[in-house]
């Protein structure tokens, strides 16, 4: 009898490294939907699912911030699917009145039109002030000048009953005009993405609840040579919509230590997702050095490496994964695209030997003394 249970799969496309798929405004959502259909349980992060004004809700997809993914893959937290989160909104005092009002209108619209539970809303005591930069690899990066102010505002939201937090901070307008133009035309790295990850990582590390970020920016003039992958960011005044939708059904983060100190019924434990449930992890070739990926390699979870070029070059060759022999090598599968990755997930889920799908097929070998 064929086992058709879901195969929990982790999809990672790192933020701010300019991947052909997933380096823009939600352009990895179609790939995520495909992989979710193949696995029936996809765990992925905001960089994959946030499309500016565009978003997609799929009950088979768990929306988990990147730092949380690292903890999950390492076995430090469990994921608890929920029906709905109460999303607190943290606004940067550096937002101009009109820009602040636009974001509040997004929150009102998400309540009125989508039925989300948004609030309370808090404005930070003073401007957060964000600086943007790039690493030596070409990936985007940055820092927060007032992290304590950011954290105090988020703590107030949690104390007021928010179970997830959406953050909007004022970003510099056109800090690098050339970089912005290249990105909008599909030839560059998202210069704001790296520091967005810094903000959400920082808050999750301290609060251990779902968090995601939306940048506050003035609208850009129309570009007649716009790459379609960036269009989700061009059709509205803010990028907050997709963040609120994603956080509204993000799973709770249950700390492993908390589970060990309390008695839990079998039914409670059964509803949680752990790294032991993972059947595969899908990641771009060149981006294999992240914490979550290394944790999965250590636990011998099948790694599907997709040809999805970005600016990083931490590849299977550089990590000498291609040199491994025997059973260890069976855990590393290569895919030319996410269509092929979906096929590999389907084969793993239904217990089909990958070798049987490729030609030529080697004869079985007799084991002799």
C-alpha 357/C-alpha 57 separation (Å) is 33
Order the strands of the 9-11 sheet from edge to edge.
Answer: 61-63, 42-44, 9-11, 280-284, 303-306, 332-335
Q: Provide the β-strand partners of residue 214.
A: 168
What pLDDT is recorded for position 285? 97
E strand or H helix at 131, and its extent?
A: strand 130-134
Q: What structural domains and CATH numbers belong to the chain?
A: 78-254 (3.40.50)
pTM over 0.85: yes
Mean pLDDT per 10-residue segment, the chain (369 residues): 83 95 95 98 97 94 97 97 97 97 97 97 97 88 95 98 98 76 86 93 97 92 90 91 97 88 61 95 96 96 96 92 68 96 97 92 84
Strand 211-216 with 164-170, pairing: parallel
What pLDDT is stored for residue 297 in this prediction? 95
The pLDDT of residue 176: 62
Residue 142 — left, alpha, or beta (φ > 0 → left; ψ -120 to 50 → alpha)? left
Q: Cα–Cα distance between 228 and 47 in angstroms, integer?
A: 17
Residue 242 near residue 53 (C-beta atoms within 8 A): yes
């Amino acid at each position: 009898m064929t086992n058709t249970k879901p195969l929990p799969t982790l999809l990672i496309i790192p933020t701010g490294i300019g991947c052909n798929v997933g380096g823009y405004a939600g352009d990895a959502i179609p790939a995520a939907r495909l992989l979710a259909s193949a696995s029936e349980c996809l765990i992925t992060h905001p960089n994959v699912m946030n499309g500016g004004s565009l978003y997609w809700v799929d009950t088979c997809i768990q929306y988990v911030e990147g730092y949380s993914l690292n903890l999950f893959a390492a076995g430090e937290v469990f994921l608890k699917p929920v029906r709905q989160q109460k999303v607190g909104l943290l606004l940067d005092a550096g937002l101009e009145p009109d820009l602040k009002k636009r974001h509040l209108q997004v929150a009102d619209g998400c309540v009125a039109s989508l039925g989300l539970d948004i609030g309370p809303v808090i404005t930070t005591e003073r401007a957060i002030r964000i600086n943007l930069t790039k690493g030596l690899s070409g990936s985007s990066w940055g820092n927060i000048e007032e992290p304590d102010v950011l954290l105090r505002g988020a703590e107030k939201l949690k104390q007021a009953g928010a179970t997830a937090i959406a953050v909007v901070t004022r970003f510099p307008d056109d800090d690098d005009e050339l970089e912005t133009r290249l990105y909008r035309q599909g030839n560059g790295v998202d210069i704001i993405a790296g520091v967005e990850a810094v903000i959400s990582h920082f808050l999750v590390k301290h609060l251990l609840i779902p968090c995601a970020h939306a940048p506050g920016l003035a609208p850009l003039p129309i570009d007649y040579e716009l790459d379609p992958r960036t269009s989700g960011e061009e059709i509205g005044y803010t990028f907050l919509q997709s963040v609120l939708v994603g956080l509204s059904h993000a799973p709770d983060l249950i700390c492993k230590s908390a589970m060990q100190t309390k008695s839990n019924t079998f039914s409670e434990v059964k509803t949680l997702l752990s790294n032991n449930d993972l059947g595969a992890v899908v990641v771009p070739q060149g981006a294999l050095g992240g914490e979550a990926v290394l944790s999965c390699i250590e636990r011998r979870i099948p790694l599907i490496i997709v040809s999805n070029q970005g600016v990083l070059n931490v590849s299977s060759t550089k990590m000498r994964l291609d040199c491994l022999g025997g059973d260890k090598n069976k855990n590393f599968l290569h895919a030319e695209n996410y269509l092929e990755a979906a096929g590999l997930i389907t084969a793993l889920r239904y217990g089909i030997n990958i070798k049987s799908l490729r030609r030529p097929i080697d004869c079985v070998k007799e084991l002799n003394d």
